Amino acid sequence: MTRITRRALAAVPLALVAGRALAQPRPLPAAPAPASPWPDATETAARIRRGEITAAEVVETAIARAEAMQGTLNFIVNSDFDRALAKAKAGPPAGPFAGVPFLVKDLVDYKGLPTRGGSQSQRRAPPATVQAPNCDAFDRAGLIVLGKSATPEAGFLPSTEPIATGLTPNPWDLTRSPGGSSGGSAVAVAAGIVPAAHATDGGGSIRIPASHCGLFGLKPSRGRIDDFEGKDGITAFGVEHVLTRSVRDSAALLALTEDHKPDASYPPIGVVDGPNKKRLRIGVMLANGEGHSPTAEVVAANDHAAKLVAALGHRVDYVRLPYDGDQFIHDFLALWASSAKQLADRVARVTGRQPDDTVLEPFSLGLVEMAARAKPQELGQALKRLEANVLAYDTWFTAYQFDVVLSPVLSSGPPKLGEIGPLVAFDTLVARLIEYVGYTPIHNIAGAPAMSVPLSWTPEGLPIGTMFAARAGQERMLFELAYELEAANPWAHRIPSVHV
């Protein structure tokens, strides 16, 4: 799930502050290429630099794949093929990922394309004239944007089933959800259409589709990525990064988009290019925020991951949440509802009337009603409790003396399409979401990094990710662990049943 931002779902695009310092491109990591039927972004760029293939040929191939797969997977909501091909043909491209095809999620402005955010309220949005610093970094890196990827309305739901643009199915099983809200990006990478795609995460929206689509997805710390959004306070709970098949692509793209300004929240980590010999203290957690165990297949995946890290020499202990998980998830939902009300208020200002189901989805309207019913002091009380949860999360690591927490990403594998879609009765859907998404939101409130690593598959062949989380600012440690897991339990050779 991803929070509504001042760039997302605006009926008229906002003027955004410009003039930020530009990060300089850095070398790509030296980590070996994982075995895969498709080259990752790092290898694709290397082949272009070596002259084995041209950027135009790579982009033409990606466009052909997108056109062939769109009817089945419905992953792209606004194509930009002509402009992408013109960029690729314009001359020798510059940047460490020069010529690599890419998608930008349709919650974020990209110059020349409208931002519709999966909502009928944005169907007439004009093309964006400004974009965030991280999108500037994508352009400087040489990535060629093919268009905008599908997302649920305003990123509110963890399944990509917006009424405005239709269902986006999971390429591992077309009857199931790819997750959300970065579902379109995940599907495009999983099916081999592009090697990497932009994603955002305000409650799990990078990690959820990574888990359901067999991809690597790291949610950065709040303030790590150079962005227009606020860096301070729990209300700035959304972040941006990418979904990839390889760890090295994710690490390199973070190095190219992290904040290098003097007032950056954290010192830049640069390119993390391999594992660390240091052994970690890893706390293993199984119960979700409600205190319930996940499905048997998720339990098995969590046990497999715990045994794997123990076999690699890391110290493993079992831990529990240091706060009231049930109260936390209800407080987070109150914050989510406040975001929906802000969206509805903005739509009302532009249209001159309160939005109804011809403009916003039933679930979004249910959140708006929830916020309207709340007493004035209730949101403030929820925010105070969430602030206390941030402190509890941070001190949890020192109190138990561990470096990383290992847990499920979700309480189940990929759900059937429609089970957590926007047309489910509101109260029923909220109850399902509380049970299903009980692991991921705390990292958004705490501003901490967390990653979904594709270490397990069900007997039916569906992927199940395992989450590894750390204290704020500890992306390097997570990437180093991810490289080690990728080598010990590779996943890039696995491909879904529907693919290019």
Quick: pLDDT tens for 473-490.
999 999 999 999 999 999
- For 187-242, write each residue's pLDDT tens digit: 999 999 999 999 999 999 999 999 999 999 999 999 999 875 556 678 889 999 99
Residue pair 404/468 in contact (Cβ under 8 Å)? The answer is yes
pLDDT above 90 (res 38): yes
| pLDDT tens track for 171-183 | 999 999 999 999 9
- In 319-458 the beta strands, taken as DSSP E runs, fall at 404-408, 450-457
pLDDT at residue 379, as a whole number: 94
Residue 231 is predicted with a pLDDT of 62
Residue 4 reports pLDDT greater than 50:
no
- Residue 170 has phi, psi (to 5 degrees) of -85, 125
Q: What is the mean predicted confidence (pLDDT) over 389-406?
A: 95
pLDDT in tens, 331-367: 999 999 999 999 999 999 998 999 999 999 999 999 9
| Percent of all residues in the chain with a pLDDT value above 90, rounded to a whole number | 88
Across the beta sheet with 101-105, what order do the strands follow? 76-79, 144-149, 101-105
Known catalytic residue at 105: yes
Query: Contact at 8 Å (CB) between 219 and 241?
Result: yes
- Statement: residue 12 has pLDDT above 80: no
Handedness of CA 330, 334, 335, 337 (dihedral sign): positive
For residues 425, 428, 431 and 436, what is the CA-based torsion angle, rounded to 10 degrees? Answer: -80
Which residue in 36, 87, 105, 211 is the catalytic one?
A: 105
Distance from C-alpha of 29 to C-alpha of 171, rounded to nearest angstrom: 29
Taking the C-alpha atoms of residue 490 and residue 451, their distance in angstroms, rounded to an integer, is 16
Q: How confident is the model at residue 122 (pLDDT cuts 50, 70, 90)?
A: very high
CB 452 within 8 A of CB 431: no
Q: Would you place residue 7 in the very low, low, confident or very high pLDDT band (cuts 50, 70, 90)?
A: very low
Beta-strand pair 281-284/239-244: unpaired
Cβ–Cβ under 8 Å, residues 149 and 213:
no
Query: What's the count of helices (H) and strands (E) in the chain, helices before strands?
Result: 14, 11
DSSP 3-state assignment of 105? Answer: strand
19, pLDDT greater than 50: no
Identity of residue 37? P
Looking at residue 316, what DSSP letter applies?
A: E
**Which of 181, 182, 211, 364 is labelled catalytic?**
181
Q: Quick one: pLDDT band at residue 92, thresholds 50, 70, 90?
A: low
Catalytic residue among 121, 205, 221, 246: 205
Task: Tell me which residue has tokens 């041209």.
Answer: 54
Instruction: Tell me the two tokens of residue 6.
Output: 């001042």
23 vs 28, higher pLDDT: 28
DSSP β-ladder status, 101-105 and 144-149: parallel
What superfamily would CATH give domain 41-488?
A: Amidase signature (AS) domain (3.90.1300.10)
Rounded distance between C-alpha atoms, residue 208 and residue 360, angstroms: 23
Tell me how far apart the alpha carbons of residues 243 and 259 are, in angstroms, rounded to a whole number: 19
Does residue 22 register a pLDDT over 60? no
What is the Cα Rg of the chain in Å? 21
Residue by residue, DSSP assigns 261-286 as STT-SS-------S--SPPPEEEE--
Asked if the model's pLDDT at residue 274 lies above 80, the reply is: yes
pLDDT (0 to 100) of residue 132 = 87
C-alpha distances out from residue 281 to 397, 400, 403, Å: 10, 9, 5
Of these ranges, 86-100, 160-174, 227-241, the one predicted with the greatest mean pLDDT is 160-174
Which of the four pLDDT bands, split at 50, 70 and 90, describes residue 23? very low
pLDDT, mean of residues 372-392: 95
394 vs 321, 445, 474, CA distance in Å? 12, 11, 12
pLDDT at 9: 32
Residues 366, 353: Cα–Cα separation, whole Å: 17
* Residue 343: its H or E element: helix 325-351
CA distances from 204 to 125, 234, 447 (A): 26, 15, 12
Local confidence band at 468 (pLDDT 50, 70, 90 cut-offs):
very high
Q: Is 369 exposed, middle or buried (0-12, 13-18, 19+ CB in 10 A)?
A: middle
Average pLDDT estimate for 74-81:
98
Q: Tell me: pLDDT of 10 over 60.
A: no
**Residue type present at position 31:** A
And the tokens for 95? 């940047």
- Model pLDDT, residue 227: 77
Q: Which of 13-22, 248-257, 466-475 bottoms out in mean pLDDT, i.e. has the lowest?
A: 13-22
* Among 52, 56, 21, residue whose Cα is nearest residue 259: 21
For every residue of 169-199, DSSP letters joined together read: -BTTBTTB---SSSHHHHHHHHTTS-SEEEE
Q: How do the domains of the chain map onto residue ranges?
A: 41-488
Model pLDDT, residue 230: 59
Confidence of residue 2 (pLDDT cuts 50, 70, 90): very low
Top-confidence residue, 33 or 73 = 73
Answer yes or no: are the C-beta atoms of 9 and 244 closer than 8 Å: no
Q: Taking 80 as the threshold, does the pLDDT of residue 1 lie above it?
A: no
- Asked if 182 is an active-site residue, the reply is no
pLDDT of residue 34: 80
Residue 211 near residue 179, CB atoms below 8 Å: yes
Instruction: Tell me the CA distances in angstroms from 116 to 84, 121, 206, 347, one per residue in order.
Output: 20, 8, 19, 13
* Residue 78: strand pairing partners: 148
Q: What is d(CA 358, CA 356) in angstroms, rounded to the nearest whole number?
A: 5
